[in-house]
Amino acid sequence: MSPCPGLTGANWAAIHENAVIFLDRWADEAVRLGWTTLDLFGVHPEAGTTRSNYCGALIIGAEPVSAITETRMQFANTTFYRDTLGKPTGSVPLWQFGKGGKP
């Protein structure tokens, strides 16, 4: 079952699987480099992933992470830049979507 708008079927399954792999392989490094919960798992509080400019790296990237630095996360064919200028604030962790706000 999809946790929010924009995540469906195979897309949600791939994101979930890659997030679990990321946590097993990269979580300690991500914490050391300053990545936050919202940097990784953020979604728009009302529109879910249909507002991709609010989404965290692991929500956008449907591929396994291949490298991580302080400011970017590399996937097989894409890169997520954490320090993108003009990125909106106000996202919530995916698991808080539809629960009325931030934890």
> Tens digits of per-residue pLDDT, 8-40?
888 888 999 999 999 999 999 999 999 999 999
Distances (CA, A) of 87 to 31, 82, 83, 91: 21, 9, 8, 10
| Residue ranges making up the domain that contains 87 | 9-96
User: Domain total for the chain?
Assistant: 1
pTM for this prediction = 0.88
| 77 found inside a domain | yes
| 28 found inside a domain | yes
- d(C-alpha 83, C-alpha 103), whole Å: 23
CA angle (28, 30, 32) in 5-degree steps: 70
Average pLDDT, the chain: 89
pLDDT at 101 (0 to 100): 52
| 92 found inside a domain | yes
| 68 found inside a domain | yes
Answer yes or no: is pLDDT of 62 > 90.
Answer: no
